[in-house]
Chain A
């Protein structure tokens, strides 16, 4: 008998207009000690399954049919009190974002002991002892001091360990981990996944690992269930599903995953469900001013660039302390190339991008653009002329578009600001741009919230291209997107570079993506560039220890099927 069995589960969300079926007749079973992956793109219903098991469906969601059984006892349809007894005791949950899943106003000890006592009772001393053991078990050093600290005093990875300790409080049988490492750096991700693997084995806990990351699935899980639009499309042992997918959707999903080992010319797009949108690069190239990129000359020369942020204010200069975000960095970006910057969070990669874009003033060193020093420009007109040539695409497509502006105004704004056109020409140009990025000009009349993440990123691209720039800064442009959408956006960026002769600064923490996109890569650590290499060279022979460490921690995708992928020679 399985530990957890889900039979024919259907979850519905009745809305005013229609009934939305989030989970559609799903079967699933988890054995003790097994890590069962649940993979799919956003909206596939994987988190809803987790919430249904926990009895925490958001209103007005309801289980329309099917049963959920834990060790043979039915747990779906239990009343609130009985369910609360199970939650945290028999079934625990780990959430995606460790920054927000701990209450900021209580110490770690308070949050642990209250959970322990809620389920096991016992004296304060017993609860404290157990809390200490748990904190020790999840690998947090110096548990006695750490216990009395508040969540904000922990780093992201340490916080996720606290969350795991909380989930383990009462020896649960099943843990549901909903995107447990999505918000973490690669190195921390590897540690947290190892910890989950260890615990599953050691305590014979069944784990349901919900994620959109195929790398995590391939590395961690024993079995995997692939979901699409609320339905299970394929299920089986991980190596079999990943290596020899049988369903069309699984095949296309796996094909869209960027590989660390294989450089592709273009990403295969997910064709399942007919969601491909055309990107009219040829139309765009016809109107684009001809640039001949002299690849021998650098577009940007960056010398001894430094940025410090005030960490502690003080009236007197010696009372102030600074945090050096970018520390004496020098590199060139050649015309027409895609220059990658990789590093973990806090390594200073976004700060460099912002200094180049002129969003942060420079504290030391110079930035030279096509022979002109731009880092000390103060003259408004000169700055505008420079900024017209560089545009930026941001990470978060949700917050980088003003929600109260219509899309055509968003795209027209740079044109109006730089006074490039007037009157009806602007309208025509905006419509062209929206057509070219595959949204269609009717999109201009809508507001940003009416679009999905991938479509919004297309709006960002249209806006960035409005001034016909020479240089694009892409700051993690796809890290908030699903893998199929990521493939589309990366293809667009590649087209821009190849057909319009744009130079790209591509910032990412995702090494496989960098491998696909970039000609040369700078690896950053704590504000310094530790290695700068041709991409292929970096992946084949990393010169520094840090770079090889990063490569080692990267999820291996060797088991993934390579059907339909054509390597670039």
Chain B
């Protein structure tokens, strides 16, 4: 098992390196940061001096190498636009995104699994069919449209919830949280639903189809023949078997909740890392972009690792192989 984790870690490092390489090779096409940094009255000498200072005159592999060398020591450089260390900026912004992602991920998983099981067990029922039809909307509407719709209904027309921002936050150490104030919690509702709706409907449909499959399996028939109650059959025997394939997709979806936060954060002007990234692109703030992309890849890679480990926890058939590898 230990060897397996070590091997996965090594693979993760390779993935990160490749992501960084691709990112750096693309930064040249985003635009020239110098344009934004120097004012109208610049001279060619100023431009050349700044370019040399930032190391932008060097080919991108060299820039990448320097970035890596500093990144290993925890130094992600200084934002061109704000003139502050990137690590500080991201640390300030990360809580907003993580709290949003946590709430919408939690919503997506709990509601997704609950509704999925419900629609599978009551396959013929009216409620299940209504849920299935409505879920099509969740799958097919784009995130930004859902966000705008929600703002229109709940903020503009009904005036119940704020349309942008995080509300009041409380600092706990370095972590600014919106969980502890009423306005912070109210501000979370719309963005969390917007971000989680797609994942929720996806998980729900996946759980439903897997569950229907499992309910037809021989061991479920045998469990029925042994006179076990429907509750035990559905929630003990069937649900656990349903989870095995569902976990993979769900894991990947959680990764994309953080990645998709960019759109939601833009719609709701949520002060998280996604919004930071969008602004960084506009100003060609290379250190911020690089750090953000690295952060997202670390997240995806670690979620994948956790998913694979969960597999072993749930399915005993895999444990034998795990010991062997």
Task: Report A's interface with B, CB cutoff 8 A.
Answer: 54, 56, 84-89, 92-93, 95, 97, 100-107, 114-115, 118-119, 150, 152, 163, 166-167, 169, 312-313
8 closest cross-chain pairs (CB), A and B = A88-B227, A87-B227, A88-B226, A100-B218, A93-B225, A150-B316, A101-B222, A103-B219
Contact residue among B229, B237, B244, B325 (Cβ-Cβ distance under 8 Å from A84): B229
5 new A-B contacts at CB < 8 Å, known A101-B219, A103-B223, A105-B316: A95-B221, A101-B218, A101-B221, A105-B240, A313-B324
Question: Do B315 and A104 touch (CB < 8 A)?
Answer: yes
Does B42 reach chain A (CB closer than 8 Å)? no
Specify which chain B residues have a CB less than 8 angstroms from the CB of A107 in the assembled complex.
316
Which residues of A have CB within 8 Å of B241? 103-105
Known: A103-B241, A312-B324. A92 touches B317 (CB 8 A): no
A90 to B21, alpha carbons, bound, how many Å?
A: 68
Contact residues in B for A313 (Cβ distance below 8 Å): 324-325
Contacts of B49 in A (CB 8 A): none
The verdict on B37 contacting chain A, using a C-beta distance below 8 Å, is: no
- Can you list 15 A-B pairs with a CB-CB distance of less than 8 A? A84-B228, A87-B226, A87-B227, A101-B219, A102-B222, A104-B241, A104-B315, A105-B241, A114-B228, A115-B227, A118-B227, A150-B317, A152-B317, A163-B222, A313-B324
Closest chain A residue, CB of each to CB of B228: A118
Tell me, yes or no, whether B15 is within 8 Å of chain A by CB: no
Q: In the complex, how many angstroms separate the beta carbon of B6 from the nearest chain A beta carbon?
A: 13
Q: Is B26 on the interface with A (CB-CB < 8 A)?
A: no
Contact A102-B225, Cβ < 8 Å, known A150-B316, A150-B317, A313-B324: no
Q: Separation in Å of the B93 CB from the closest CB of chain A?
A: 41
Task: Give B123 Cβ to nearest chain A Cβ, in Å.
Answer: 11
Q: Are B228 and A115 in touch, CB under 8 angstroms?
A: yes
The CA-CA distance from A85 to B226 in the complex, in Å, is 9
Contact present for A56 and B228 (CB under 8 Å): no
A85 touches B315 (CB 8 A): no
Known: A152-B316, A313-B325. A100 touches B225 (CB 8 A): no
Take A101-B219, A101-B222 as given contacts and tell me if A88 and B317 are in contact as well, using a CB distance cutoff of 8 Å.
no
B225 CB contact (under 8 Å) in A54, A103, A150: A54
Type the 1/0 row for B219-248, where 1 means its CB is closer than 8 Å to any CB of A: 101111111110010001100110010000
Contact assessment for A85 and B227 in the assembled complex, using a CB-CB cutoff below 8 Å: yes
> Whose C-beta in chain B lies nearest to the C-beta of A83?
B227
Residues of A within 8 A of B325 (CB): 313
Flag whether B309 is at the interface (Cβ < 8 A). Answer: no
A166, B236: Cα distance in complex, Å: 17
| Distance, CA A105 to CA B237, complexed state (A) | 8
B314 within 8 A of partner (CB):
yes
Q: A104 near B317 (CB under 8 angstroms)?
A: yes
A312 CA / B224 CA spacing, docked (Å): 37
> Which residues of the partner chain B approach A169 to less than 8 Å between Cβ atoms?
226
Provide the B115-129 mask, 1 if CB < 8 A to any CB of A, else 0. Answer: 000000000000000
Are A87 and B225 also in contact (CB < 8 A) when A103-B237, A103-B241, A104-B317 are?
A: yes
Complex contact B314–A95 (CB within 8 A): no
Residue of A nearest to B218 (CB): A100
Is the Cβ of A104 less than 8 Å from the Cβ of B316? yes
Q: Does B17 contact A (CB under 8 A)?
A: no
B237: which A residues are within 8 A, CB to CB?
Answer: 103, 106
Residue B217 is within 8 A (CB to CB) of chain A in the complex: yes
How far apart sit A114 and B222, CA to CA, in the bound complex (Å)? 13
What chain B residues lie within 8 Å of A167 (beta carbons)? 226
Contacts of A101 in B (CB 8 A): 218-219, 221-222
Most buried by A among B218, B219, B223: B219
Of A93, A105, A106, the most chain B CB neighbours within 10 A belong to A105
Closest chain A residue to B219 by CB distance? A103
User: What residues of B have a CB within 8 angstroms of the CB of A87 in the complex?
Assistant: 224-227
Is the beta-carbon distance between B225 and A88 smaller than 8 angstroms? yes
Contact between chains at A118 and B232 (CB < 8 Å): yes
B220's nearest neighbour on chain A, judged by CB, is A103
Set of chain A residues within 8 Å of B222, measured between Cβ atoms: 93, 95, 101-102, 163, 166
Shortest CB-to-CB span from B271 to chain A, Å, is 44
A313 CA / B316 CA spacing, docked (Å): 19
Mark interface residues in B6-48 (1 if CB within 8 Å of A CB, else 0).
0000000000000000000000000000000000000000000
In whole angstroms, how far apart are the Cα atoms of A63 and B232 in the complex?
27
Q: A101-B219, A152-B317 are in contact. Are A114 and B227 (CB under 8 A)?
A: no
